[in-house]
Amino acid sequence: MARTRHARTQCSEGPGAVGASCWHEFDRKRLTADKLASLQRNLDTRWDDIRSSVRRAMIPAARIHEVLRRANCAETASDIGVDDAFYAETVRDARFLRDRYTFLDLAADSQHRDLVNTKLAA
């Protein structure tokens, strides 16, 4: 319930059609009790396959940082002049813009939301 209020607040702050579009996108992926139960059953059943698939596709953070460093690219929000708190807030709220359930939604729906924001801002 609190997440729904937060989503409505985040979306309603957008101008007119933007705010309505934001809510429409978020509402399509919002976890109801039934959707949550279904998601949990799916995770319980397929967790090992999901984890293996993610590991095959994952690029270690150290490798990404090395490639960015060698290419002289910015590596952090502060490297491009973005305040860490603003960046963390932007990443936290980015999930309201799409109807797909992503790692940002998973982080927000879990007990690890603040840890994820801290890591993303670092």
DSSP string, 3-23: HHHHHHHHHHTS-HHHHHHHH
> What φ, ψ does residue 11 adopt, rounded to 5°?
-75, -35
Sign of CA dihedral 40, 43, 44, 45: positive
Q: How far from 24 is each of 12, 30, 34, 101, 104, CA to CA, in Å?
A: 11, 10, 19, 14, 18
Q: pTM of the prediction? A: 0.53
Instruction: Give Cα 7 to chain centroid, integer Å.
Output: 13
Q: What integer is the mean pLDDT of 85-91?
A: 85
Residue 72 — left, alpha, or beta (φ > 0 → left; ψ -120 to 50 → alpha)?
left
pLDDT tens-digit map of 58-83:
999 899 999 999 999 998 889 999 99
As a whole number, the mean pLDDT across the chain is: 78
Instruction: Give Cα 58 to chain centroid, integer Å.
Output: 16
pLDDT tens-digit map of 26-37:
777 777 888 888
Residues 6+ apart with CB under 8 A from 113: 92, 107
